[in-house]
Structure 1
């Protein structure tokens, strides 16, 4: 007779401690089989040396090792479509309940709906819990139940709720003894899923009291590189957002905490307005006549626009999978407004390259610079890529690092004149939105 078990499905929560769904599963009276599925639907869109896939694989192996050494258990790792994997699991085990943590992106919502239907048709319960955010979905909304479309009032209510109710931790690490006992469960190498180890690795994060305290004073200067590198770790859940919010809230200066709130603001926007994954939040901006010049887009991607600060950002992205936040705004604005290239093309390029790519934040920020999103910069706000150097890289240290050829004869001349591009942009946008 097959043993009755519960399953915990790891996705964007690659840690054993303070993991809400895992904690709920481990509290149950049945042994918990932890699983991870390398989903073909997601993998098929990625380059074969994608650093994020290497990072996920390494994180899973570290977790497996802890479970094996201490608890004679492991995480079973599969590759395929979630539907097919669950059909096989149903054949092999008597499953009572599948536990997981909620995911709010459009693909994830549709995937989970299908899996829930499949499981329920077999008499299996599907339970999902809030884990990757402090507040989700409809928890921070206006009094009439509608979504906030402006960050400032959203953040005010978010902070009030947080101060009033605090944070609940879920000590899953204390209950790991209730994992399914077997060290024979399926493991996979990167090669097994058709990938190879990435040459560029995802950097560890740094969140110290000093970094948080100094964040407001230093965050706009890319040469100082005083950023936490926390993005990928929140994206894949190798660190608990509750832990980070708690650390940030201990400081007098809450600028760092507000960045974590921005993340949740954009998540609830995508959840309330899923059309923004592909369309402008403000419909009239769909009327913009983008030029979408392929040669200029290629120059932007390669960091060969002739504007050193723009090129520095793009070269940093291409070489490291990271770009400083201040520079992200500049390169985004340059693409949409100087070159009149559709924000969706820039968003897709970032999705391919950024280690910390998070759909909601990426779309939210791209629509912000293009002027077409919620709480967006007005369309006539056009960053000057030359004066931005005086403000944020006066000694040219950031530029020298990433564009060492910027004073050489071989460095390209600007692909567009700032004044001409600005006037063209204002004319095209005004025609579209007026």
Structure 2
């Protein structure tokens, strides 16, 4: 039987198990590791495994994503964990297979009585885990899942009526109150060599290479993104020196304002419990930046619990009435958006950023999502899928929540007439045009005034700057004022139906 609240062998009188298998998933580190901690409390010895799940990776390859930075990121984290375990006389068991088959097989080969892992509430993950649990039970073994990548999950933060929240602000208020009463302390134990199981020779395989996984090298290392848990620690240390200014710096894409920890949070090379404790302590000391950043961690939990309670959002609108919207869905305009050819410099620079780096600044995610859904009238699911394929930090819950927020179809109190003006956003958050120049060098010679809307600049200034609209930089593919009016009409008609 799956244990989903607290591990059933925590009692001092509970019978300890000889061997437990820890299945690493989105928790690619060895410190403050909930599943590892549970296994060490319950078992005399532990073995650790990671599966490059073909049910996931093969789907990426089928979509033409042979060069996927996320696979490289994961491989680097796995290599680091394996190196640490080898220093302690063990090794990480790594397989390239279907996880639903590989994990029960590994448990049997090891003679492990139980498998321990962090919970994952994505619908496909829940179905996979149910299949693994059934296979283990048929063999007399157990699957124990623990809370890992959230502070509060599922039903831990509910309304006074015992129902899940659907609006963020009251959820955050309740979340903060619960955290104040019940802070989540990181696990402080150490994985000693004496607690690691010795592996049979048949299980000691060399780690797969990127090519053996079917993937090609990317520019991940050229981007100088610190990798693995050691890289996460480096970024945490850097951000801790800047966190007090986060509330002022976070919205400006040309400034070093964000934490840049999102991909590490996604794959668990950093502990969300450690980050929340860090932010909470700084907030209690009066840091406004830490207060705002802690709110970002609350957003993560909020979207995870939305996905758990409302799994239908994966395919449809949180508010079903918005599934009646008649989208324009122009393939040529969608291609222009994907390729950074809309004629709106901030939108185009952001889309080039994600293509070149796999990262997009959070403010720009809102801008480009609003532009796709409200200026171009394209279904939010098209943009959601594009982000899912290209973001290093793609997380189904947050990505879905963000896109539905932009499309006004999600769990948000704001009405549908929230429409970002891409020029106003550019002038406010990239006033000097530094971010635009970084990704649109063809506009680099324009002034800080003209770079936000080149089509408004006098012809002589465009010529002097080497800008030829329609040739080396496109004219706008849509007029924002007309598109806004059309969107308001589209949503009004839908609401009236």
Further displaced range: 84-93 or 276-285: 84-93
* Alignment of structure 1 residues 3-402 onto 2, 5 Å: 5-46=19-60, 47-69=65-87, 71-175=88-192, 177-182=194-199, 184=201, 185-186=204-205, 187-201=207-221, 203-204=225-226, 206-207=235-236, 208-251=239-282, 252=286, 253=288, 254-375=291-412, 377-402=414-439
CA distance in 1, matches of 2:263, 2:124: 19
Gaps of 5+ in 2: 1-16, 227-231, 447-466
Cα distance in 2 between the residues matched to 1:353 and 1:243: 28
CA shift for structure 1 position 139: 0.2
Deviates more, 1:31-40 or 1:161-170: 161-170
Q: Note the C-alpha offset of 1:118.
A: 1.0
| Shift in Å, 1:379 | 1.0
Tell me, in whole angstroms, the C-alpha distance in 2 between the residues paired with 1:173 and 1:375.
42
Which SS does the other structure have where 1:27 is aligned? helix
Q: Give yes or no for contact 1:16–1:172 (8 Å, CA) kept in 2.
A: no
Counterparts of 2:158 and 2:492 in 1: how far apart (Å)?
A: 32
How many pairs are equivalent? 431
Separation in structure 2 between the aligned mates of residue 295 and residue 275 of structure 1, nearest angstrom: 29
Contact 1:15-1:237 at 8 Å conserved across structures: yes
Three-state SS of the structure 1 residue aligned to 2:441 is coil
Q: CA deviation at 1:145?
A: 1.6
- Structure 1 residue 222, shift from structure 2 partner: 0.8
Residue matched to 2:7? none
Larger radius of gyration: 2
Decide whether the 8 Å contact of 2:37 with 2:189 is kept in 1: yes
3-state SS of 2:190 partner = helix
CA drift of 1:301 comes to: 0.2
Measure, in 2, the Cα distance between the counterparts of 1:219 and 1:169: 27
The structure showing larger relative contact order (alpha-carbon pairs under 8 Å, at least 6 residues apart) is: 1
Q: Could you report, residue by residue, the CA deviation over 1:15-62 in whole angstroms, capped at 9, with x for unpaired residues?
A: 001001111112233321111111111102321221111111111111
SS of equivalent residue, structure 1 residue 45? helix
| Cα-to-partner distance string for 1:233-259 (whole Å, 9 max, x where unaligned) | 011000000111111112222001101
Query: Counterpart of 2:21 in 1: which secondary structure?
Result: strand
Q: For 1:209 and 1:189, locate their aligned partners in 2 and report how far apart those are by CA, in whole Å.
A: 34
**1:42-96 Cα deviation digits (max 9, x unpaired):** 1023212211111111111111111111x21111000111232135325523221
Q: Do residues 405 (structure 1) and 442 (structure 2) align?
A: yes
SS state at 1:331 partner: helix
Tell me, in whole angstroms, the C-alpha distance in 1 between the residues paired with 2:343 and 2:217.
Answer: 33
| Runs of 4+ more than 4 Å apart | none
In the aligned structure 2, how far is the partner of 1:85 from the partner of 1:176?
Answer: 25
Task: Name which of structure 1's ranges 106-115 and 193-202 shifts more when overlaid on structure 2.
Answer: 193-202
> Which shifted more, 410-419 or 397-406?
397-406
Query: Quick one: distance in 1 between partners of 2:165 and 2:483?
Result: 34
Distance 1:118 1:418, change over 3 A: same
160-169 or 290-299: which moved more? 160-169
Contact persistence 1:19–1:172 (CA under 8 A)? no
Residue range with higher mean Cα deviation, 250-259 or 297-306: 250-259
161-170 vs 144-153, which deviates more? 161-170
Once the two structures are superposed, what CA deviation does each residue of 1:269-319 show, in whole Å capped at 9, x if it has no partner?
A: 111100001100011100101111000000000000000010011011110
